[in-house]
Structure 1
Amino acid sequence: MNILQINSSARSSGSESTRMGDKLVAGLLAANAGATLVRRDLASDPHPVLDEASLGALFTPADQRSAAQNARIALDDALIAQVQAADVIVIGAPMYNFGITTQLKAFFDAIARAGVTFRYGANGPEGLLTGKKVYVNLSRGGIHRDGASDTQVPYLGTFLGFLGMTDVSYLYSEGMGMGPDAVAQGQAQANAQIDAVLA
């Protein structure tokens, strides 16, 4: 089992979504002898955003790219290779202003590449990152699960499914901004969900 852990909190320490991911990954490693782990922290090692220069590199034929363009594409290639090699992907996805973090969006923009991770065929788009199990650890300051304010889960499901990752489980830690009692309750509920996955 090859595990890829993506931490997308802007915090390099003290992140609830990262705590959840660490707990889940530790359990997966303990239960699967020989499992490997690649961990990417997008706070300490942020990926560049999709901008005009990177779009120019992507749409320039490979044999015509400049050295700078090749270097920029290589950064995306490295992320794509890690996702392709993973059997299990663990994503930490805190809610910032009702959405995913800028860090996670930059990661998603990097791995969505036509002809590599998805393609368009006679029947429409086809995701090429199939056969993977994805766990998304969602931490929120308030309570949003199954409500109209939860824009994350619909977006994540759409994006991951577009790339072929349809086996997705969502784990929740909510109420992190609502005081100590709510934090304790939210973390306990998150731990119970993780324990159920590992059982």
Structure 2
Amino acid sequence: MSKKSLLVVQSSILADNGQSNVLAQALIQRWQETHVDSEVKVRDLGAEPVAHFDAATLAALMSAEEERTPEQAAVLAQSSQLIAELQRADHLVIAAPMYNFAVPSQLKAWIDRVVANGITFKYTDQGPVGLLQNKPVTLLATRGGMYKDAGQDFQIPWLKQVLAFIGLTQVEVVYAEGLNMAQQREASLAAAQAQIAALDL
């Protein structure tokens, strides 16, 4: 039997001081307690950013493999590696702080690399179809203010939509809101930690 695999995508620019990364580490510990003999891959986009999607990347994708320059091959090799990590994982965790009402640009760059026509989705006469084998996804959403119930959350609905587009529909969200509000911070973090401890991993 192959080892279970956890892929954790972190996107905070604050390293260990980022609360989304703190929650990610708590989930990793919970996972390792449940799956003693398992693999954990942490893709830290804050420490090692992924190149943003650009015209050069598009040109590489549209070029025949035998005609690609070494630079184009390198660009697509990174995309292939990220997609392989995602395909291999049994459980995906995305730690997403809110920056200016959206996900960090580092996370958007990762999304643009793994949403790939013909690999993680395809177009059909009935519309797009996700090609990834469905698997559980946990989103760790940290915010300085209170957005979830205020009609101002553009982050999690977008993440759920793009994940469903590539075939991932089993999504659970752990929220930690009000982290810049003195009366909310500790209670919100404690509630998020308790939710992680109770996850069915």
Which of 129, 146, 156 in structure 1 is aligned with 2:159? 156
Corresponding residue SS for 1:71: helix
Say if 1:27 and 1:198, in contact at 8 Å, map to a contact too: no
Which of 185, 189, 192 in structure 2 is aligned with 1:190? 192
Displacement of 1:198 after TM fit?
A: 4.6
Q: Spell out, residue by residue over 1:71-127, the C-alpha distance to the aligned partner (whole angstroms, 9 max, x if none).
A: 111011110000000010111000111101100000000001100000112321110
The RMSD of aligned alpha carbons is 1.2
Corresponding residue SS for 2:9: strand
Matched, 1:127 2:130: yes
Q: Spell out, residue by residue over 1:24-76, the C-alpha distance to the aligned partner (whole angstroms, 9 max, x if none).
A: 11101111131110111001110000111111111112111111100111011
TM-score (norm 2): 0.95
Matches within 5 A, 1:77-116: 77-116=80-119
- Would you say how many aligned residue pairs link Structure 1 and Structure 2? 198
Say if 2:16 and 2:22, in contact at 8 Å, map to a contact too: no
Matched, 1:66 2:73: no
Corresponding residue SS for 1:197: coil
Matches within 5 A, 1:9-88: 9-88=12-91
2: CA distance, partners of 1:134 / 1:113: 19
- Partner residue, 2:173: 170
1: CA distance, partners of 2:200 / 2:31: 7
Corresponding residue SS for 1:104: helix
- Partner residue, 2:146: 143
**Structure 1 gap ranges (5+):** none
Say if 1:76 and 1:110, in contact at 8 Å, map to a contact too: yes
**Structure 2 gap ranges (5+):** none
TM-score (norm 1): 0.96
1: CA distance, partners of 2:82 / 2:136: 17
1: CA distance, partners of 2:51 / 2:9: 15
1: CA distance, partners of 2:189 / 2:54: 37
Identity, in percent, stands at 36
2: CA distance, partners of 1:197 / 1:59: 42
Displacement of 1:13 after TM fit?
A: 2.3
